[in-house]
Structure 1
Amino acid sequence: MNKPPVVIAGASGFIGHYLARRFSQDGWQLKMIGRNSEIQWGDTEAIRQALEGAELLINLAGRSVSCRYNEANKAEIFASRTETTEELGRALEACQNPPRDWFNASTGTIYRHAEDCPQDEANGELGSGFSVEVAKAWEAALDQSDTPATRKIPLRMSIVMGPNARDLGRRGPGGAGVMRPFQILSRFGLGGRMGKGTQKYSWVHIEDLYRAIIFIHQHPQLQGPINIASPEVVSNAELMRQLRISLKIPFGIPTPAWLLELGAILIRTETELVLKSRWVDPAKLRAAGFKWQYPQLPRALEAIADYGKTARELD
């Protein structure tokens, strides 16, 4: 028997593609909202109809932050998150039978640069700067929607790691989230620590993201922002060491911060993505009894590598 409908907004990226596949595998009915979907942004009535009677709404919409933070890109990053969240709120307000839960993507980057202590939902200190302001505005847009019948949860996601889009069976562009540039650097011998290498790297395997979403949906007592991360945080130096092991690469040349700055300009991105120390503590999930399938980085990297190897052998 099929499960009730789940609506995924902004499902065209790495995370959305994986979640749609997993929900479908587990028997959920799927409805998609996005630029490449049958239901388009701007058609609020069509969105309302999709949400009517659905069990769960997951919003992942937002332009990639892997770009230079010029004024045009910053405006698009803001708008792609806040305006889509606001439109979903308007559609939900018009529903007679709205979803029980609305999980809206957010980011662990909302917390400050932290190398001294973990940042949990109760005591974590919010940071400053452009990325933090985006996260705050994103969560504010969710909070301001008048949807009392629907539980609203910002998912403060750490770096999501998983098999790339090709390995999931989809041809065309895509990649293994943030891991792909790390893999490329490692294969060219540049897989050493980045900057000081002491900055913390909070991460989560994408299967545990899916399992956490199901877990939160099944535990209505959980409220407010929820950190989505593995319980094991590593330093950037340890991340690169484990990645080299998984790729069977014996050495990696360290990359100083000044060279990262130059490289970021050349590939049109920002060094914040690798130099900010993200120490995200999933305190709410741990206290509620969530069990991670991939709590440790070596096992997660091994699973990702094995998935890709199997997929390529089946081609």
Structure 2
Amino acid sequence: MDQGVSRLGKVVLLGGSGQIGQTLARYFHGRGVEVISVSRTPHPAPWTTVAWDGKTVGRWTKCFEGADAVINLAGSSINTRFTREHRSLILDSRLDATKATAAAIRSRKRPPRVWLNASAVDIYPHTLAPTPETTISGYQDTGAMDSTTPESWRFLSEVVWQWEEAFRMEQVPGTRKVALRTTLMLSPDQGGVFRLLSTLARFGLGGPQGSGKQFVSWIHHTDYARAVEFLIEREDIAGPVNITSPQPLSNREFMRLLRQAVRMPIGLPAPAFGIQLSSLLLRTEPVLVLKSRCSVPTVLQQHGFTWSFPDWPSAVQDLVLGH
């Protein structure tokens, strides 16, 4: 992480109890920033925690006054089966939190300077080609709705498009807006994706998943937090930004380097039909593993952001040591 004290004064995190929220809270708190974490289930922390219901404007809006940035990360987990009930929860929770954030900003005499709203690289179609922010202008243009794409994959793309559209349409005069098209953020925290993948690799189960040809876009947790701070400080950046490393790689290579880092020479592959079966048993969806995500961070690169861990070999070594 960056050393020294940040120039920022106050950052508010909505949905701050999740893995990304905790990562950002620790980072900014360590940099001397006043952190206020707003969530449905606030827990004691070294920073201020406030409760909200994710959709109703209430007393929690007072913490927006004079903030340097509000970062809305709220939304129900997609790591579940896409039943009708869960689909409604996944979409509505994101739209409700976005609308409530906008209303809270408009209610302040001294509104936040910038509003960063979570989004995802799942707005892009399944592709092996690099996808910068300029790849699409909206969900209808992605090609993600063609007949060859599994319906559950189309659902995720549609959710992200509607989420960004809701964010784009909200008027918050005087507050800059940035859509954080986040990829797979990897940290050694308990319960995170990296913990699961590295454990599988250590037990010899870290082979390629599906064909292994699908691309993995990823980012080290340190670079995620640094990129968010960079976007807060850069007043010339607005709109969608891919929050990824500059070097996506194939699933096959991603898993090979992970096995190498944990010193496991073998890794049993997980064929697509096996992933589909295990997804049923684990109550999740195959799209989380099998869809190719090859997003590249063109906006960050063009504005001079530098990564501490730009490539997977250096990142995975650091993550294994942190584990």
The TM-score with structure 1 as length reference comes to 0.91
Among 33, 36, 39, the residue aligned to 2:41: 36
Alpha-carbon distance in 2 for matches of 1:220, 1:12: 27
Amino acid at match of 1:29: E
Q: Which residue in 1 is equivalent to 2:173? A: 148
Q: CA deviation at 1:43?
A: 5.1
Amino acid at match of 1:106: S
Over aligned residue pairs, what C-alpha RMSD do you find?
1.5
Among 178, 182, 196, the residue aligned to 1:157: 182
Verify the 8 A CA contact 1:51 1:98 in the aligned structure 2.
yes
Aligned 1:1-315 pairs, distance under 5 A: 3-37=8-42, 38-41=50-53, 42=55, 44-115=57-128, 117-124=129-136, 126=142, 127-128=144-145, 129-165=154-190, 175-176=191-192, 178-308=193-323
Amino acid at match of 2:75: G
Q: Which residue in 2 is equivalent to 1:311? A: none
Alpha-carbon distance in 2 for matches of 1:51, 1:141: 20
Alpha-carbon distance in 2 for matches of 1:51, 1:20: 16
Q: CA deviation at 1:230?
A: 0.5
Alpha-carbon distance in 2 for matches of 1:114, 1:293: 27
Gaps of 5+ in 2: 43-49, 146-153
Alpha-carbon distance in 2 for matches of 1:40, 1:223: 27
SS of the residue corresponding to residue 9 of structure 2 reads: strand
Amino acid at match of 1:254: P
**Deviation per CA, 1:234-291, whole angstroms, max 9, x where unpaired?**
1000111011111111100111111111011011111111110000010010011110
Alpha-carbon distance in 2 for matches of 1:76, 1:137: 14
Gaps of 5+ in 1: 166-174, 309-315
Alpha-carbon distance in 2 for matches of 1:183, 1:163: 9
Alpha-carbon distance in 2 for matches of 1:47, 1:137: 25
Verify the 8 A CA contact 1:159 1:203 in the aligned structure 2.
yes
Q: CA deviation at 1:307?
A: 1.8
Identity %: 37
Alpha-carbon distance in 2 for matches of 1:182, 1:62: 24
SS of the residue corresponding to residue 163 of structure 1 reads: coil
Verify the 8 A CA contact 1:154 1:226 in the aligned structure 2.
yes
Q: Which residue in 1 is equivalent to 2:45? A: none
Q: CA deviation at 1:25?
A: 0.5
Amino acid at match of 1:32: S
Verify the 8 A CA contact 1:39 1:46 in the aligned structure 2.
no
Q: CA deviation at 1:298?
A: 1.2
Verify the 8 A CA contact 1:208 1:292 in the aligned structure 2.
yes
Q: Which residue in 1 is equivalent to 2:151? A: none
SS of the residue corresponding to residue 77 of structure 2 reads: coil
Verify the 8 A CA contact 1:51 1:95 in the aligned structure 2.
yes
Verify the 8 A CA contact 2:102 2:170 in the aligned structure 1.
yes
SS of the residue corresponding to residue 44 of structure 1 reads: coil
Verify the 8 A CA contact 1:12 1:36 in the aligned structure 2.
yes
Q: CA deviation at 1:45?
A: 3.1
Q: Which residue in 2 is equivalent to 1:168? A: none
Q: CA deviation at 1:184?
A: 3.2
Q: CA deviation at 1:138?
A: 1.2
Q: 1:43 to 1:81 in 2, by over 3 A?
A: closer
Alpha-carbon distance in 2 for matches of 1:269, 1:244: 24
Verify the 8 A CA contact 1:6 1:30 in the aligned structure 2.
yes
Alpha-carbon distance in 1 for matches of 2:116, 2:303: 17
Alpha-carbon distance in 2 for matches of 1:104, 1:239: 28
Verify the 8 A CA contact 1:47 1:88 in the aligned structure 2.
no
The TM-score with structure 2 as length reference comes to 0.88
Alpha-carbon distance in 2 for matches of 1:95, 1:45: 12
Alpha-carbon distance in 2 for matches of 1:246, 1:82: 40
**Deviation per CA, 1:151-210, whole angstroms, max 9, x where unpaired?**
111100111111214xxxxxxxxx22x223322332332211111100000101111111
